[in-house]
A = this chain, B = another copy of it.
Amino acid sequence: VSADPQAGAALTPALTLQPVGRVVSPVTRLDQAPRQGDEGAPVCAIDLDPAILAAAGDLIPGQQVILLTWLHVADRQTLQVHPRGDPNRPPLGVFSTRSADRPNPIGLHTVRVLHVSGGRLTVEGLEAIDGTPVIDIKPILGPIQAR
């Protein structure tokens, strides 16, 4: 099932994201990337935009944070997928999956900050390929951990 890229667009104006950083990772291809961060993601780095460094000034090594990314190689027309790519499983609407392929391919990750140095964060637990734009960083709040 594919979206009609024109339908509905006129009613809701598009919004503009400005990346605040990007992922620097040894993983450069989708087929090397683990599907979830607890399935073997390597240590990688986030290089922050110098213009927004003050926003990151209170991040602390050891802290777990929520990272939002833009999964830039995703297919934005995909509305249904087979879970985990298994054709034997019935297709699900992408809002019921963590598929990268979805209308707005935002990645939601829980990662641990290992080091903070200048404009670079070193993190563990991030399943995103090299060059992935980072769009937000949030602290974890409350009993329900968003991951």
A-side residues, CB < 8 A to B, are: 1-12, 14-22, 24-26, 36, 38, 43-45, 47-52, 54-59, 64-66, 68, 70, 72, 76, 79-80, 83-84, 92-98, 102-104, 106, 108, 110, 118-120, 122, 133-142, 144, 146-147
Among B10, B12, B102, the residue within 8 A (CB) of A136 is: B102
A131 to B18, CA, bound (A): 22
Among B48, B54, B144, the residue within 8 A (CB) of A9 is: B48
Closest B residue to A95 using CB positions = B137
A3 to B16, CA, bound (A): 16
Chain B hits for A45, CB < 8 A: 1, 3
